[in-house]
């Protein structure tokens, strides 16, 4: 649910010059991988608990498992589970970081759900947690990383379904599919819809605004993700873009990363979830999905204030939003540049035509057959 760059290594501006940025990113990545990560992984394994659901799952190779980080996610669960089950997901692994609402009780009743818990500070351990869950429950299969406030759509969804999409990815030797996060919002002021249920949000948060999105080349050092992205292969037609900012940048001044690798094949040569948005060692597909992001559902003003008080993550984006809401209590994200998202049948295609999603002619030709 972050929609951010990694707070410990990627939120700061890149020092002058592309070479300096690339060297700094790789140096920090090397130090973390050789010294910081082994110690943190030991702490994680000591603290890890299995709370409910199967400890092992026996699924065919074509099955897809969702791995989701969660804390007090009861608000989202019904919509989240229904959407991904309808998409074709076979099993869910929830990585709980200390829920105190009804999340754990509800998930314990679901036969296709496993719940693991680690109560260490999630801002530091989320990557280790997701990566562990993916390796343990999705080895040699596809894994879909999804946050609780994210809904995946892709062009050709009605024709292919998730199984058809995976056949395309497998046929062409890809091991990851990118997605761009699309911030969804209502036409009304955010304060007036703060108490809407998540099903209500799915109906009323039907607008987006991509006019302020900043796109960078995939391997541009200015992404501050060079250590990870340099390990990946990307297609030539069209080359994928890493995108930042958007409506949150325009309204709150956030430098939030909008690009993710949510769908990853967990092979032995792949390092999954090395960053909240990125896996390493992957061959990136020539088509993208959209992740509808409901960041502004579930009383965002109160949630950001609680996050700021807890000091869970140091990137400062929650502080920017708290300041923005304090200055403008009736803040709305609506403007004349907002557009309506018309659902998976036409929404991803419209975003492709607008340049927000990069999708190859080959993929479009194959889904048209």
For 17-37, the pLDDT digits (tens) are 556 666 776 676 666 666 777
Residue 135's alpha-carbon distances to 118, 141, 143, 295, 356, in angstroms, are 16, 9, 9, 28, 31
Examine residue 318 and say whether the peptide bond preceding it is cis (omega within 30 degrees of 0): no
Query: What is the DSSP-derived secondary structure letter of residue 276?
Result: T
The yes-or-no verdict on residue 73 having pLDDT over 50 is: yes
pLDDT, tens only, 187-209:
999 999 999 999 999 999 999 99
The yes-or-no verdict on residue 315 having pLDDT over 90 is: no
Q: What is the pLDDT of residue 216?
A: 98
Q: Which two tokens stand for residue 54?
A: 């199967």
Residue linked to tokens 């999954």: 272
**Which of 10-14, 286-290, 336-340 is predicted with the least confidence, judged by mean pLDDT?**
10-14
Q: What is the pLDDT of residue 20?
A: 66
* pLDDT band with cut points at 50, 70 and 90 for residue 11: very low
Q: What is the mean pLDDT of residues 298-319?
A: 77
What percent of the chain clears pLDDT 90, i.e. is strictly above it?
79
pLDDT, tens only, 210-248:
999 999 999 999 999 999 999 999 999 899 999 999 999
pTM of the full structure: 0.88
Q: Which two tokens stand for residue 253?
A: 């001044």
* pLDDT band with cut points at 50, 70 and 90 for residue 8: very low
CB burial of residue 55 (10 Å; 0-12, 13-18, 19+): exposed
Task: Quote the CA–CA distance of 245 and 223 in Å, as a whole number.
Answer: 12
The yes-or-no verdict on residue 39 having pLDDT over 60 is: yes
Output b/e per residue, 6-42; b: 16+ Cβ within 10 A. bbbbbbeebeeeeeebbebbeebbeebeeeebeebee
Residue 8's alpha-carbon distances to 36, 271, 289, in angstroms, are 12, 19, 27
**288 beta partners:** 178
Q: List helix spans (H) across 48-156.
A: 74-87, 103-107, 122-138
pLDDT, tens only, 124-177:
899 999 999 999 999 999 999 999 999 999 999 999 999 999 999 999 999 999
Residue 85's alpha-carbon distances to 109, 110, 202, 316, in angstroms, are 16, 12, 17, 34
* pLDDT band with cut points at 50, 70 and 90 for residue 369: confident
The yes-or-no verdict on residue 64 having pLDDT over 70 is: yes
Please, what is the average pLDDT of the chain? 91
Q: How far is CA 236 from the centre of its chain?
A: 24
Residue 344 contacts residue 153 (beta carbons within 8 Å): yes
Q: Where are the beta strands (DSSP E) in the chain?
A: 49-52, 64-70, 91-96, 113-117, 142-145, 150-154, 176-183, 207-208, 213-217, 241-245, 259-265, 271-275, 278-280, 284-293, 339-340
Interacting residues of 157 by C-beta distance below 8 A, sequence separation 6+: 87, 165, 344, 345, 348
- Work out whether strand 142-145 and strand 64-70 pair parallel, antiparallel, or are unpaired: parallel
Q: What is the mean pLDDT of residues 258-285?
A: 97
pLDDT, tens only, 322-368:
899 889 989 999 999 999 999 999 999 999 999 999 999 999 999 99
The yes-or-no verdict on residue 45 having pLDDT over 50 is: yes
Q: What is the pLDDT of residue 29?
A: 65
């Amino acid at each position: 649910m972050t929609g951010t760059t990694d707070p410990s290594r990627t939120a700061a501006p890149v020092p002058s010059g592309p070479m300096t940025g690339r060297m700094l990113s790789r140096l920090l990545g090397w130090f973390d991988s050789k010294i910081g990560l082994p110690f943190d992984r030991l702490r994680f394994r000591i603290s890890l608990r299995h709370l409910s659901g199967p400890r092992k799952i026996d699924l065919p190779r074509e099955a897809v498992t969702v791995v989701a980080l969660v804390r007090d996610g009861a608000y989202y669960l019904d919509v989240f589970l229904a959407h991904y089950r309808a998409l074709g997901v076979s099993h869910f692994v929830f990585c709980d970081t200390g829920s105190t609402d009804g999340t754990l009780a509800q998930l314990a009743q679901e036969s296709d759900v496993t719940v693991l818990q680690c109560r260490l500070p999630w801002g530091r351990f989320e990557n280790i947690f997701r990566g562990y869950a993916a390796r343990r429950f999705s080895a040699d299969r596809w894994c879909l990383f999804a946050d609780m406030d994210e809904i995946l759509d892709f062009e050709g969804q009605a024709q292919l379904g998730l199984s058809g999409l995976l056949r395309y990815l497998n046929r062409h030797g890809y091991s990851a599919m990118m997605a761009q996060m699309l911030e969804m919002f209502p036409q009304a002021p955010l304060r007036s819809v703060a108490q809407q249920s998540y099903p209500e949000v799915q109906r009323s948060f039907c607008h987006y605004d991509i006019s302020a999105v900043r796109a960078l080349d995939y391997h541009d050092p200015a992404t501050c993700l060079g250590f990870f992205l340099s390990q990946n292969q990307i297609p030539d037609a069209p080359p994928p873009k890493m995108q930042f900012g958007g409506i949150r940048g325009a309204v709150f001044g956030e430098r939030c990363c909008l690009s993710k690798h949510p769908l990853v094949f967990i092979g032995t040569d792949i390092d999954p979830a090395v960053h909240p948005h990125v896996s390493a060692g992957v061959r990136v597909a020539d088509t993208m999905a959209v992740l509808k992001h409901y960041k502004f559902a579930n009383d965002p003003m109160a949630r950001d204030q609680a996050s700021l008080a807890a000091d869970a993550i140091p990137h400062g984006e929650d502080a920017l939003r708290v300041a923005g809401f304090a200055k403008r209590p009736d803040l709305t994200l609506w403007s004349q540049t907002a557009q309506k998202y018309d659902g998976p049948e036409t929404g991803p295609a419209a975003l492709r035509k607008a340049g927000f999603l990069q999708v190859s002619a080959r993929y479009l030709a194959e889904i048209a057959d």
